Structure 1
Amino acid sequence: MDATTLNKIIAGSKPLGFGDIMSRSFDLFKKVWLQGFLTLILTFVCLVPFYLLLYIPLVFMGISDPDMLGKDKMSTPAIIWMAVFLPIIVMAAMVVSIAFTSAFLRICKQKDSGATGADDYFFFFKGRYFGKMIVLGLIAFGLSIIGALLCGVGLLYLIVPLSLIPAFFAFRPEMSPMEIVKAGFQLGNKNWLVIFGLIIVMGIVAELGIILCGIGILFTAMLSKIPLYFIYKDGVGFNGQNVPLEE
């Protein structure tokens, strides 16, 4: 399926159903809660080195200059370090999040269809998809910056198309990064209010896991990602996609 055909499918698709997607998301969560937990843990583990890279030098700066900790303003070296590496950390977080979320959505499809096979959490970290993962992260980071510069209103709008990037990357990885982003905008614009509502409501519900002694959120957080699978399934479908993706 090329990008033109995909665009026609999205244009001709029926409006998404808020209640239906939410209901099916809860049902599927019962099958993938463990995979969601593992996805979240792996995401944290992969990001730890980046956070260490950011904060360890700051710790040494504080040790070498104890007075720095008591000042109202950060020292010039600390400001420069944060200015250089903080964007890198944010971009890395986006790249890693896209990769693991895409892998999780593939697992959701596998469990939903009853297919057998190993849960490949690192599918997009290898082979020809790795480069696309980096580019998609860069695009998402750039769009987020643009949205933030528009007084936050732009970022509010971009929440929907940006959230759909992992879905299209998961199920149409042969598309170019720009085609994936454009498809996300097309499907997002057509069903913006429904998708935005699902993101907000399911995000709030997923956060309720914190009630379970705080640690419960580790098991419920990925509930907020499951609707993306059904949004893609209902908005695009899986015709001709039953063949396993190449590595």
Structure 2
Amino acid sequence: MNRRRSLVMTAAAALFAVLLVYAIGRLQEIRTAREGMTYVVVPKRFIGAGETIAAGDLALRLVPKGVYDGEAIADIQAAAGMEAVIPLGEGEPILSWKVDRFNLFPGPNESTFQIPKDYIRSISNGIRAGDRVVVYLSGEGAASGRLFEETVKVASVKSSSNMEIDNMDDPHLLSLAEGDKERMYASRRDANGMIEYINLNLTEAQWLAIDTACKDGTNQIVIAYSPETMDAAAAAEGEEAP
């Protein structure tokens, strides 16, 4: 009887030792796998281009190291408050070039002004949010010419139904982020809707200059887009960065 009990105990101890070795091996495998992984920030829902990202919209996801070559954001607080430059899919790692903290925000000493419709003679239909544009003065009250030497940033352009104007099948911001200027211009050309409202990020002096020139009705402004202003936009963003 004692011998049988001894054999059972020996077998149980051997089985326990085997299970312990297996468990240790599995833990080592998991640890090794985890060491080749890293956490990145992903949206918990679809986020549209130009939308401000809240911390509650974000989660962490484990992905293989090196897949995103350091471009993926790994801290939720670092991504919270940024704007989506292009649409972000649910569960899609957020890469640094896909978001911008100050893409459409007014810069230092600027505010966002909606330009009254009767102040405007014409707006280029190629203009979209995030562009930098040239503002010209035209009318009987003053000589025609550039009102400002510098370009100004467009905060938003909307249709009469208060919808942001863009090509929903091929957003211009996606082409802009990918550096494809020809496709970006084509998406602007193919976008539906006429611009009814435009908001510009202006300094107080710039707004007062527009208001002073246009409020009596003798002058209006022309807001023009040119692909060359993309280079001015890149330079301006570099100057504004802290």
Tell me which interval the TM-score lies in, with the shorter structure as reference length: under 0.3
Bigger CA radius of gyration: 2
The structure whose residues are more often helix, as a share, is 1
Which structure would you say has the larger RCO, counting Cα contacts within 8 Å and 6 or more residues apart?
Answer: 1
> If the length of structure 1 is used for normalisation, what is the TM-score?
0.24
The structure whose residues are more often strand, as a share, is 2
> If the length of structure 2 is used for normalisation, what is the TM-score?
0.25
